[in-house]
Amino acid sequence: MLRLTIALLAMVAVAKTGNEPAPAAQQIVAFKQRTSGPIGIMTTSAGSPIELKDASSTLNSNLILNEYFMDSLTHIVRERIPERLVHAKAAGAFGYFEVTHDIKNICKAKLFSKIGKKTPVAARFSPVIVQRGGTDTSRDARGFAIKFYTEDGNFDIVGFNTPMYAYKDPLLFSSFVRALKRNPATNLVDGNTLWDFLTLQPENLHMFLLVFGDRGVPDGYRHMPGFSIQTYQVVNESGEKHFVRFHFIPDAGIKNLNSKQAQKISGIDPDYATRDLYNAIGKGKFPSWSVSIQILTLDDVKNAKFDVFDVTKVLPQDEFPLKPLGRLVLNKNPTNYFAEVEQLAFNPANLVPGILGGPTKIFEARRLAYRDAQYYRLGANFNKIPVNCPIQNHVLAYNRDGRPPVKDNGKDTPNYYPNTFNGPVPYKDENRVDLIEIYQDDPNNFDQARELYMNEMTKEERSRLVENILYSLGGAIEELQDRAVKIFTIIHPDLGYRISQGLKVNRTSYYRDDEWLNNN
Report how far residue 140's alpha carbon sits from residue 371's, in angstroms, rounded to the nearest whole number.
24
pLDDT digits (tens, 9 = 90+) for 291-327: 999 999 999 999 999 999 999 999 999 999 999 999 9
pLDDT digits (tens, 9 = 90+) for 74-128: 999 999 999 999 999 999 999 999 999 999 999 999 999 999 999 999 999 999 9
Report how far residue 486's alpha carbon sits from residue 492's, in angstroms, rounded to the nearest whole number.
10
* In the predicted structure, residue 2 carries a pLDDT above the cut 50: no
Contact 301, 320 (CB under 8 A): no
Residue environment code for 93-127, b if the CB has 16+ CB neighbours within 10 A, otherwise e: bbbbbbbeeebeebbbbbbbbeeeeebbbbbbbbb
Handedness of CA 165, 166, 169, 171 (dihedral sign): negative
pLDDT of 68 reads 93
Q: What would the 3-class secondary structure string for 77-101 be? A: CCCCCCCCCCCCCCEEEEEEEEECC
pLDDT digits (tens, 9 = 90+) for 455-478: 999 999 999 999 999 999 999 999
Report how far residue 439's alpha carbon sits from residue 417's, in angstroms, rounded to the nearest whole number.
35
Q: What is the mean pLDDT of the chain?
A: 93
Report how far residue 435's alpha carbon sits from residue 358's, in angstroms, rounded to the nearest whole number.
8
Residue 4: band (very low, low, confident or very high) from pLDDT cuts 50, 70, 90: very low
* Cis amide linkage into residue 324, ω under 30° from 0: no
Residue 18: band (very low, low, confident or very high) from pLDDT cuts 50, 70, 90: low
* In the predicted structure, residue 508 carries a pLDDT above the cut 50: no
**CA-wise closest residue to 128 among 138, 118, 120:** 138
* In the predicted structure, residue 448 carries a pLDDT above the cut 90: yes
Residue 507: band (very low, low, confident or very high) from pLDDT cuts 50, 70, 90: very low
pLDDT of 360 reads 97
pLDDT of 292 reads 98
3 state SS of 35:
coil
* In the predicted structure, residue 227 carries a pLDDT above the cut 50: yes
Neighbours of 252 (CB within 10 A): 16
Does the annotation flag 370 for ligand binding?
yes
pLDDT average, residue stretch 447-451:
98
Contact 120, 102 (CB under 8 A): no
* In the predicted structure, residue 67 carries a pLDDT above the cut 90: yes
3 state SS of 319:
coil
**CA-wise closest residue to 159 among 245, 275, 284:** 245
Report how far residue 390's alpha carbon sits from residue 409's, in angstroms, rounded to the nearest whole number.
16
Residue 20: band (very low, low, confident or very high) from pLDDT cuts 50, 70, 90: confident
pLDDT average, residue stretch 413-431:
93
pTM of the model: 0.92
% of the chain residues with pLDDT over 70: 94
Paired residues of 248 in beta bridges: 226, 291
118-234-301 Cα angle (round to 5): 140
pLDDT of 489 reads 98
pLDDT of 517 reads 57
pLDDT of 392 reads 85
Helix axes 493-505, 459-473, angle to 10 degrees: 50
Q: Does an H or E element contain 482, and which? A: helix 478-491
Residue 8: band (very low, low, confident or very high) from pLDDT cuts 50, 70, 90: very low
pLDDT digits (tens, 9 = 90+) for 153-203: 999 999 999 999 999 999 999 999 999 999 999 999 999 999 999 999 999
Handedness of CA 194, 195, 197, 202 (dihedral sign): positive
Contact 144, 160 (CB under 8 A): yes
pLDDT of 519 reads 61
pLDDT of 21 reads 84
